């Protein structure tokens, strides 16, 4: 099992944000987490990445307890993270953004990895020396995903990768993730039903920090799921 989350709880002040979340992610494939805004999806990802402390519960990655591990340690172990809002280095070039990520993760064959990222996202090669802040939103999202992949993760975590992105780039992102899910584990938080339906193998629906539905995407009930995630 790639990731094993057991009875995870998280509090923010007096608010109970995550409530006894338990789920697993296998060594390959894609799990989608759906839910309305404020359901706790981003908080979950931040707990998985060590950006927020879990109040209680256990997070295991490849059999190792990482509940108290630092974010840097989790990246070193093989978890890549694409945060909501992209969070690229706006004043650095596309290549420099990739270099910083690879160096932080201890990647040795950086030139070869950089070439792989351009193969996945050709537009980045066209923008190689351009500052991240000068890219369009869709280009920045592709850079953010490439930066996470450049760390050579065995688990890729993405927080709403299609948000605010034009349809042709959404399709590119879907194609890339689809090409990778037989080689690694992917956890994606998303509200775009059609994206999840075509990409994910399994899904969870979270409401008020609790899992209220789960299953195989082949058996997803579109009407029911959309009722869970609609505003």
pLDDT-derived band of residue 171, with 50, 70 and 90 as boundaries? very high
The whole-angstrom separation of Cα 20 and Cα 220 is 23
Nearest to 107 by CA among 146, 133, 136: 146
Q: Is 218 exposed, middle or buried (0-12, 13-18, 19+ CB in 10 A)?
A: exposed
Q: Note the pLDDT of residue 49.
A: 97
Q: What mean pLDDT value characterizes the chain?
A: 94
Q: Note the pLDDT of residue 231.
A: 58
Q: What percent of the chain has pLDDT over 90?
A: 85
Angle at 32 between CA 30 and CA 33, to 5 degrees: 150
SS3 of residue 166 by DSSP: coil
pLDDT in tens, 112-125: 999 999 999 999 99
The whole-angstrom separation of Cα 212 and Cα 231 is 16
Q: Note the pLDDT of residue 40.
A: 95
The region that residue 156 occupies, defined by phi over 0 for left and psi between -120 and 50 for alpha, beta otherwise, is beta
Q: Which range is most confident: 17-21, 81-85, 106-110?
A: 17-21
131: DSSP letter: B
Q: Note the pLDDT of residue 39.
A: 93
pLDDT in tens, 124-154: 999 999 999 999 999 999 999 999 999 999 9
Q: Is 224 exposed, middle or buried (0-12, 13-18, 19+ CB in 10 A)?
A: exposed
Contact 59, 47 (CB under 8 A): yes
- Taken in order of first residue, the domains within the chain and their CATH numbers are 1-78+156-161+182-231 (3.40.50.300)
């Amino acid at each position: 099992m790639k990731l094993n989350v057991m009875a995870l709880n998280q509090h923010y002040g007096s608010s109970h944000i995550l409530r006894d979340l338990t789920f697993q992610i296998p060594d390959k494939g894609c799990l989608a987490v759906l839910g309305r805004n404020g359901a706790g999806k981003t908080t979950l990802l931040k707990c998985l990445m060590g950006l927020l402390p879990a109040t209680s519960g256990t997070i295991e990655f490849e059999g190792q307890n990482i509940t108290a591990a630092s974010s840097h340690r989790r990246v070193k172990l093989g978890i890549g993270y694409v945060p909501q809002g992209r969070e690229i280095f706006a004043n650095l070039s596309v290549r420099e953004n990739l270099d910083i990520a690879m160096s932080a993760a201890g990647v040795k064959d950086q030139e070869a990895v950089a070439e792989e990222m351009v193969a996945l996202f050709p537009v980045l090669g066209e923008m190689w020396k351009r500052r991240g802040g000068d890219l369009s939103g869709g280009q920045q999202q592709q850079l953010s995903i490439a930066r996470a992949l450049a760390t050579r993760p065995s688990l890729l975590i993405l927080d709403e990768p299609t948000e605010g992105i034009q349809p042709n780039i959404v399709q590119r992102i879907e194609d890339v993730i689809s090409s990778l899910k037989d080689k690694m584990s992917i956890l994606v938080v998303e509200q775009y039903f059609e994206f999840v339906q075509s990409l994910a193998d399994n899904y969870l629906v979270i409401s008020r920090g609790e899992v209220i539905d789960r299953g195989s995407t082949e058996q997803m009930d579109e009407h029911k799921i959309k009722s869970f995630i609609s505003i």
